[in-house]
Amino acid sequence: MRQIEIRLDPALVESLMDTIGPLLKQLENELASPAEFPDDDELLEDFWKSDLLNSQREEIKVISELFDGEFMLSGRAFINSNEMDKVIRACSAIRLKIRDTLLATVTDSQLEEGDLEDVQWTDEMQIAYAAYALFASLQELIITQMNQPEPEESGDGYDWGSDDEDLEDER
C-alpha cells in the first residue's frame, strides 16, 4: 500500500483541532467507549483496559502528529501505510468522543442520515460537526485506498495495460 497525501486548509484544521483539543486530552486517560470485560477477573480486566488505553494513546498521537506544525505551514499531511490502521482507529475514537460530548443533542439517526435540519446549532457544535465529518472522510479515504489493488510496475515505470491491437481499436 502506498502513502496517502491529504491537503487541507491549515486554518480550518487548526480551528477544528483547537475545538476538539480537550477531547483529545480526555482520550489520553479514558477509553472512547466503555470496555465491558466478559470475565470476573479484575486483574486481567485492568491489564486488558490498560492495554486498550495505551493503544488508543498511540493512535491519537498519530493523528496529532498528522496535523503538526509542518502541516500548519504546508497544508499537506502524509499517512504512511504502516499507520493507516492507527489513523482509522483514532478517527473512530475521536468521532465517538465528539458524538458523546459536543454533539450529544444530535441523535445517531440524524448523524447517520444527515437529517440535521431540526438541530439547534451553536458555533461549537458546528465546528464539532465539521471535525466529525473530517475524521469520517479521512476514514473513508483510507479504507478506499486500502481496498485498491497495488498498481503493477513495468520496466519503463508505467504499465499501460494494453497491447498494440487495443491501441489500433481506439484509433
Model pLDDT for residues 19-54, shown as the tens digit of each residue: 899 999 999 999 898 877 676 777 887 888 888 999
Q: Between vectors from CA 168 to CA 163 and to CA 171, what angle results, nearest 5°?
A: 130
Tell whether 164 is covered by a domain.
no
Tell whether 153 is covered by a domain.
no
Tell whether 170 is covered by a domain.
no
Residue 110 neighbours by CB distance under 10 Å: 15
Tell whether 125 is covered by a domain.
yes
The domain containing residue 24 runs over which residues?
Answer: 3-147
Tell whether 155 is covered by a domain.
no
Model pLDDT for residues 57-108, shown as the tens digit of each residue: 999 999 999 999 899 999 999 998 899 999 999 999 999 999 999 999 998 8
Based on the structure, what is the number of domains in the chain? 1
Q: What is the mean pLDDT of residues 147-164?
A: 49
Tell whether 28 is covered by a domain.
yes
Predicted TM-score of the model (pTM): 0.79
Cell of 165: 491491437
DSSP characters over 105-153? TS-HHHHHHT--TT----HHHHHHHHHHHHHHHHHHHHHHHHTSPPPPP
Tell whether 45 is covered by a domain.
yes
